[in-house]
Amino acid sequence: MESQNHTISDTRPDPADGRGNAEPVIRITGLYKAYGQLEVLKGVSLTAPRGHVVSLIGSSGSGKSTLLRCCNLLENSQQGEIVFDGEPVRWKGKGANRVPADRAQVTRFRTNLSMVFQQFNLWAHMTILQNVMEAPLTVLGENRAEVESRARALLDKVGIGDKCDAWPAQLSGGQQQRAAIARALCMQPRALLFDEPTSALDPELQQEVVKVIKDLAGEHRTMLLVTHDMRLAADVSDHVVFLHQGLVCEEGPPDSLFGAPQTDRLRQFLSATMAA
């Protein structure tokens, strides 16, 4: 295992300079996913360079969350390639029977791709501190004292250091989501995957989480962000991908995508979401 002796604001040591001048952390090519006759992803390709934030936007049902889950191997795609830090996922079988061929590889990839879900998914029977510590202890087998020190620092970082001994049910939704972010960070992943991290929250609580995500973006962390919050996508992204009916309809830097959309479909989407 690599050395853990680095500051909380760093991810595991990278061979690049932190802004993508090496192999991308995530590269997806021609990804196809269907549930029976329902085609959800129809050949999607995207790249997440090291230290960049890539946001996925689009209407409900466009394939955003499915793409994220396929990236983290929580769902099996039927075609296409997923490459993590230059290493492709190894598959066996074809089409609907395609599954990862190497379970150890899947575990290794997932420990480096921490996912933050819409509904927090904290363990109700554990304190907030225990929630944050659990995966590094059980999955990575790290030293308890070192993990506790890092977990407390991360809870301070997201603004809930005083909630270490609280139970999830005692926290607001915004506090629970910030605890979930601290839990993801405690794995010291190479990339963070956010699946609608603010959509289950009231507007006031959303801003607590948005601030944390903006701070992480400012640290040049590699992130894939699925969001309905166009302001958040515009503020934190290096690159924005607009999905429509399982295809990349348009993509580019946020200034171009939001300021001068090239397709009628994106113009319609932005007109509806910005007016909401």
Q: Which residues of the chain have pLDDT under 70?
A: 1-21, 275-276
pLDDT of amino acid 257: 95
pLDDT of amino acid 3: 33
d(CA 141, CA 165): 22
Give bridge partners of residue 194 from the DSSP assignment.
116, 225
pLDDT of amino acid 271: 93
pLDDT digits (tens, 9 = 90+) for 151-164: 999 999 999 999 99
Helix axes 173-186, 128-138, angle to 10 degrees: 20
pLDDT of amino acid 276: 57
d(CA 172, CA 193): 22
Q: Is 98 exposed, middle or buried (0-12, 13-18, 19+ CB in 10 A)?
A: middle
pLDDT of amino acid 275: 66
d(CA 275, CA 234): 16
